[in-house]
Structure 1
Amino acid sequence: MSINKIECPLIDIPEYNYNCWSVVSSSLECSELSFLDFFSNFMIKNTPCIIRNIASEWECTKKWVCNNEINYDYLKDKYGNLEAPVADCNNIQYNSHCKIDMKVTEYMDYMKHHKDNRLLYLKDWHLRRNKPDDNFYEIPIFFALDWLNEFAMDNNEDDFMFVYIGPKGSWTPLHEDVYCSYSWSVNIVGRKKWILFPPGEEDKLKDSFGNLPLLFEAEKHTNVKYYEIIQEKGDAIFVPSGWHHQVANELNTISVNHNWINACNVHIVWTALQTNLTMVEHQIEEFKDSPEYSSQCQLILKSLFGMDFKDFISFLCYIAKKRLNQLEGKSRMGLSKYILGIDTIKFDLIHILKVMESITTHPIFLNKQNILPSITEDIIKIKHEITEKCH
């Protein structure tokens, strides 16, 4: 296995302006795009793009596809005994698709012959976790700075790596990705139509209760700024933090998808966490004087956002400790086959420090009843160590 080093410049990340967006790039050819180009022009700027011909050497590109169609028989033979979550796009309850678990062999039979009223979409399938030795794809270097999956894999927790398989007409409702993370998606076969909304534009779609529609209809919202992007076979799409989006399969389609967080967007995740907490506090403000108010706010925050303050701080401390060890030469491996260069490690640590400095001035942190003493001690110790070693 070849090893590649990831080097990024020690530059500052500008404060993200949610009212200023760059034009979505036309196609970028994978072979002509460097990591630094992607890092500087898209990841740092939180701007979406398409990268063409990124998966030509992947095993799944060669084996999951036959004559430019899904190779149903191969997938049945290889993965048929596994179960995967499946959503019915024609069965909507409580503003979401109804879901079941289904054997992959049964789902492949459905894909080949579906003639009923269901529109089934196999989604959020943790195939890499279920079969860790099956190297059916490689993480592209552009997306390798991935703290979220690094943390999940190191701690044997659920990852954020998914396979999607769906027939023509299947779709994903309008949403923002978990934790306000980045996401990337590569089409192995088929075609998707994406509609992306620059941050803040989704507010124009909300009803009087603050709820978003299941699907955006352009004719009903003529004042909304959005981008429509067609993703073909072999294309990767980069979806930045905070960009709401909806997706429709225009052909029978398979894709590989990741959610991810790193030093370039961790401040956006931290801001989103605070914003969600403020919203929760406002919703149950009538109980503010009760002794359980703060803990209940964190509990609701976790149910809405997917993590609470303790989860986020623990995640940040873990990555910081690992990077400090890497800085000492104890380990240099990042996610998958990539090595982190010294400047990349320092870049991570410097931007972790900035978020930690904001955390330690937040009322939740200052109120020692709401943060475990071990976390408080950890973050103060880590801040000191980063300052000493990176400045």
Structure 2
Amino acid sequence: MCEKRTKLDISLDAKFEEFLDYDYSQIEIKSYDCSQLQYDYFFKEHMLRNLPCIIKNITQTWKCSKLWVENDTINYDYFIKQYGQMEAPVADCNQINFNAQCKCDMKVKNYMSYLRSKSSEKLLYLKDWHLRRLTLDNYFYEVPEVFASDWLNEYAIDTKDDDFMFVYIGPKNTWTPFHVDVYTSYSWSVNVTGRKKWILLPPGEEEKLKDTLGNLPLLFDPEKFHNINYFEIIQEKGDGLFVPSGWHHQVFNDLDTISINHNFVNACNIEIVWKALQKNLISVEHEIKEFREMPEFTSQCQLILKSVFGMDFESFVNFIIHIAQKRLDHMNGVTSLLFNVYCLEKNHICFDLKIILKIIQSIQNHHLFLKNIISPNIALELLNIEQTINESLN
């Protein structure tokens, strides 16, 4: 099975299946060479422990590292020729509205003309560009092996939904505000060219930054906030940075920079995502608690939840069902490849299913499931999946 593909597997031990509480004040940001970092080690020491790290020399075999860069600068002519007529989202770092950068769509050829001109009148950052999905040539980079277990993009590709694979291009001094990633997912970012400065805060530290209304600052300034545990990281050309779940961060481009970014979820952090969804739901229910007795209260909460968190209860259940069914199919010999390259082996599949089973049991104990908020067909499918997983693991 998958003899000509890259096999991914993990070794299991007693402590391996537990999500670990960690004293983040005692850690240092480790750095590895891409060629030396083993999947099993990264899985245990970074994804399970939810710890950041730097991975060097990722882009050496990437097609875009040769085509997008000329004389160590952005190859403007190539972008204009290859992608010039496409539109991409662009943020104005000097225009802030409701604590966020103002955004618009812009033709790539016009953005490249702006970059080439070195204009200081505006500070424009092309970000969240779904270039991989929008082009037939979607092999301009390869997903690193250590990031291959990616349920979010696996689901997005299977369902032809919006993916979480982005290109970022920005001149020196462009920046991304202080935030936590969508769904409290993991993310990885690799510099094709340029340099970034990151500031990362371990989970919980962001609570110290909130104002009296519970709002976070647009940017974290270490000189204004004291007794905050944070890490400053310089990411060079070819470096990848793994950002764990729930780590708030902000990013500055120290040079003109192109990066590839993915958000991703897998068995190591799905429990964090599930807890974050429940926490957001509680906040939503509290915000409109005066309407609790109205018949549409629950459905309105779900609409708001989807708006603020990115998914509601039923879409999360559908997501879990889809990944669970694919892992069960794999157990029965119907193999699927991740990013057309990677093949999960038996221990990995079993681990995924064990964690999914834990999530399913928690879903069934949730008040929304007990209130039949999701459709009967989906509820029945979830119960059948649970039974099949139990049978497969026994």
Q: Normalising to structure 2: TM-score of the pair?
A: 0.96
Q: Is contact 1:146-1:335 (8 Å) kept?
A: no
Partner in structure 2 of residue 6 of structure 1: 8
Q: Does 1:205 align with 2:209?
A: yes
Partner in structure 2 of residue 57 of structure 1: 61
Q: Does 1:192 align with 2:196?
A: yes
Q: Is contact 2:209-2:216 (8 Å) kept?
A: yes
Partner in structure 2 of residue 173 of structure 1: 177
Q: Does 1:373 align with 2:376?
A: yes
Alpha-carbon RMSD across the aligned residues, in angstroms, is 1.4
1:343 deviation in Å?
A: 1.4
Partner in structure 2 of residue 152 of structure 1: 156
Partner in structure 2 of residue 311 of structure 1: 315
1:116 deviation in Å?
A: 4.4
2:35 to 31, 35, 41: 31
Q: How far apart, CA to CA, are the structure 2 residues paired with 1:329 and 1:159?
A: 27
Q: How far apart, CA to CA, are the structure 1 residues paired with 2:136 and 2:11?
A: 32
Q: How far apart, CA to CA, are the structure 1 residues paired with 2:210 and 2:41?
A: 36
1:92-241 correspondence to structure 2 within 5 Å: 92-241=96-245
3-state secondary structure, aligned to 1:315 = helix
Q: How far apart, CA to CA, are the structure 2 residues paired with 1:134 and 1:263?
A: 26
Q: How far apart, CA to CA, are the structure 2 residues paired with 1:227 and 1:350?
A: 33
3-state secondary structure, aligned to 2:59 = coil
1:261 to 259, 265, 274: 265
Task: After superposing the two structures, state which structure 1 stretch, 255-264 or 333-342, moved more.
Answer: 333-342
Partner in structure 2 of residue 382 of structure 1: 385
1:231 deviation in Å?
A: 0.3
1:295 deviation in Å?
A: 1.0
Q: Is contact 1:90-1:117 (8 Å) kept?
A: no
3-state secondary structure, aligned to 1:101 = strand
Whichever residue aligns with residue 7 of structure 1, its letter is D
Partner in structure 1 of residue 294 of structure 2: 290
Q: Is contact 2:88-2:126 (8 Å) kept?
A: yes
Q: Is contact 2:156-2:162 (8 Å) kept?
A: yes
3-state secondary structure, aligned to 1:27 = strand
Q: How far apart, CA to CA, are the structure 2 residues paired with 1:350 and 1:18?
A: 22
Aligned residues: 390
3-state secondary structure, aligned to 1:245 = strand
1:29 deviation in Å?
A: 1.1
Whichever residue aligns with residue 241 of structure 1, its letter is S
Structure 2: which 5+ residue stretches go unaligned? none
Q: Normalising to structure 1: TM-score of the pair?
A: 0.97
Q: How far apart, CA to CA, are the structure 2 residues paired with 1:334 and 1:389?
A: 22
3-state secondary structure, aligned to 2:64 = helix
3-state secondary structure, aligned to 2:233 = strand
1:161-186 deviations in whole A, cap 9, x for unaligned? 00000000000000010011000000
Q: How far apart, CA to CA, are the structure 1 residues paired with 2:23 and 2:366?
A: 25
Partner in structure 2 of residue 251 of structure 1: 255
1:296 deviation in Å?
A: 1.1
3-state secondary structure, aligned to 2:238 = coil
1:207-242 deviations in whole A, cap 9, x for unaligned? 111111100011111111110000000000000000
1:24 deviation in Å?
A: 3.3
3-state secondary structure, aligned to 1:268 = helix
Partner in structure 1 of residue 51 of structure 2: 47
Structure 1: which 5+ residue stretches go unaligned? none
Q: Give the fraction of aligned pairs with identical amino acids, expressed as a percent.
A: 55
Q: Is contact 2:22-2:49 (8 Å) kept?
A: no
Q: Does 1:15 align with 2:28?
A: no
CA 1:203/1:19 → structure 2, altered by over 3 Å: closer, same or farther? farther
1:338 deviation in Å?
A: 0.7
